Amino acid sequence: MRIIDIINKKANKEQLTKEEIDFFIENYVNGNIPDYQASALLMAIRLNSLNEDETSYLTNAMINSGDTIDWSYLNTTIADKHSTGGVGDKVSIVLCPILSALGLTVAKMSGRGLGHTGGTLDKLESISGYNISLSDKEFKNVVENHKMAIVGQNEKLVPADKKIYALRDVTGTVESIPLIASSIMSKKLATGSNCILLDVKCGNGAFMKNLEQAKKLGNLMIQIGKKLNRKIAVEITNMEKPLGRAIGNKIEILEAVETLKGNGPKDFTEIIYSSGATLLLLANKANSEEEAKKQIDEIIKNGKALEKFNEWIKSQNGLVEEIYKEDWFNPKYKHEIISNNEGYLKINSAIEFGLVAMKLGAGRSKKEDSIDFEAGIYLNKTSNDYVNKNDVLFTLYSSKPIDKNLSNDLLNKIEFSNKPFEIKEVLTKLM
């Protein structure tokens, strides 16, 4: 078999066989296929796509490129949840302890943020001591004893994705639905979970800019899951505006804690109830969405969800007590953006808020950048809130002096109207 023949086949819009896809992955990972040939094949795939079978073969080949985790000895449902990445997305930090408190086991590997999207790992690392790099044995111990853990991607899992993603990033081949689907699904399936919710973010702040693309990605991932014997559900959720009111790291942990106490922002709380109900139904822990939402409501109101959060953070060596101290979130610089207008606010860009948060220090523009855990944005007003003249719209925080021009970047992306408008948080669910 020769890689040049495989490239030509895909360039001519022909279907690749399982053997050809296995050959590509095996030989690219072991260094026999150089980056320039892999790039040519990835571009042919971006332009001519892969069908469902080819995408499943690719996912399987990527899973087989490294180790996999087997939880079957626990004889239980292992739940997982993955988001395609957004702004203000702290869903895992709230949803996982809720599910765990309701009897599901959650073993989750998460990623860091890059560019305008924040990463769950960075947010968790803003808590002193929190260890994202548990050994395989420690990961298993925490999951067995506490019924949940969130760690970083294990280097030995899906090495093919690591190598291919780095190449896609610099060759214009990220934006391919089958390549995104196989990248996400290979990592989820290698982690050994058997009940997975995929939160496909949709809007200007996300990879999928419109509902049609998001549905295509969601359906493709469901089909791959079916072929590989896992239960998958997809929720397509709004990323036209940031999720919740907090964007950053410590500031998002505080919002997560408030949500676990039942005081979360309306949009974020709606996503938590919706995603939680979908996973409880998928795992056969509830008979209807209504019943599932009631279970979530109870576990928040009786304090067990927050108790589980505290237990989980401690189990991964995080100093959870510190986050309840008044001065834990203590940014040196603060700048309030004041409104010159009045009316119902509409935020037109999640991405701009993510970029401003990144410029304040909350995120990275390059992988090597370090993070300022104090940096971020608080939306004193969000979409559909009524704003009076001179009200504080947004507050910017940082450990370094704040460039006042950042205010204009945000003010250019909002508008006011004299009537509230409809916002849908969950655009659609696919199962």
123 vs 146, which CB is nearer to ligand URA? 123
- The radius of gyration computed from the CA coordinates of the chain, to the nearest angstrom, equals 22
Q: How far is the CB of 316 from ligand URA (least distance, A)?
A: 22
Of 339, 353, 341, 340, the C-alpha closest to 417 is: 341
Task: Indicate if 183 belongs to the active site.
Answer: yes
Q: How far is the CB of 183 from ligand URA (least distance, A)?
A: 3
DSSP class of residue 322 equals G
Of 98, 110, 388, the C-alpha closest to 261 is: 98
187, 188, 308, 429: the catalytic one is: 187
Q: How far is the CB of 156 from ligand URA (least distance, A)?
A: 17
Residues 93, 105: Cα–Cα separation, whole Å: 14
Task: Indicate if 187 belongs to the active site.
Answer: yes
**DSSP calls for 208-239:** B-SHHHHHHHHHHHHHHHHHTT-EEEEEEEE-
Task: Indicate if 135 belongs to the active site.
Answer: no
92, 110, 183, 398: the catalytic one is: 183
Q: How far is the CB of 176 from ligand URA (least distance, A)?
A: 8
Residues 291-296: contacts with CB under 8 Å, at least 24 apart: 295/102, 296/98, 296/102, 296/272
Task: Indicate if 133 belongs to the active site.
Answer: no
Residue 84 makes contact with ligand URA by CB under 6 A = yes
Q: How far is the CB of 109 from ligand URA (least distance, A)?
A: 11
Residues 12-17: contacts with CB under 8 Å, at least 24 apart: 13/48, 15/51, 15/53, 15/54, 16/50, 16/54, 16/57, 17/57
Region 334-393 residues binding ligand URA, contact defined as CB under 6 A: none
98 vs 180, which CB is nearer to ligand URA? 180
Region 136-175 residues binding ligand URA, contact defined as CB under 6 A: 174
Q: How far is the CB of 165 from ligand URA (least distance, A)?
A: 6
CA distances from 187 to 60, 154, 398 (A): 10, 10, 34
10, 81, 82, 163: the catalytic one is: 82
Count of chain residues binding ligand URA (CB under 6 A): 7
Residue of this chain nearest to ligand URA (CB atom): 183
Task: Indicate if 161 belongs to the active site.
Answer: yes
Three-state SS for 298?
A: helix
List b or e across 380-416, with b for residues whose CB sees 16 or more CB atoms inside 10 angstroms: bbbbbbebeeebebbbbbbeeebeeebbeebeebbee
116, 123, 163, 168: the catalytic one is: 168
Record the tokens describing residue 312, joined without a space: 């989980």
Q: How far is the CB of 341 from ligand URA (least distance, A)?
A: 37
153 vs 194, which CB is nearer to ligand URA? 153
Region 174-203 residues binding ligand URA, contact defined as CB under 6 A: 174, 179-180, 183-184
Residues 99, 276: Cα–Cα separation, whole Å: 7
173 vs 315, which CB is nearer to ligand URA? 173
199 vs 267, which CB is nearer to ligand URA? 199
Residue 214 makes contact with ligand URA by CB under 6 A = no
Of 423, 64, 71, 368, the C-alpha closest to 242 is: 423
Phi, psi of 56 (to 5 degrees): -65, -40
**Which residues of the shown chain bind ligand URA in the complex (CB under 6 A)?**
84, 174, 179-180, 183-184, 207
- Give the residue numbers annotated as catalytic, written as ranges: 82, 161, 168, 183, 187
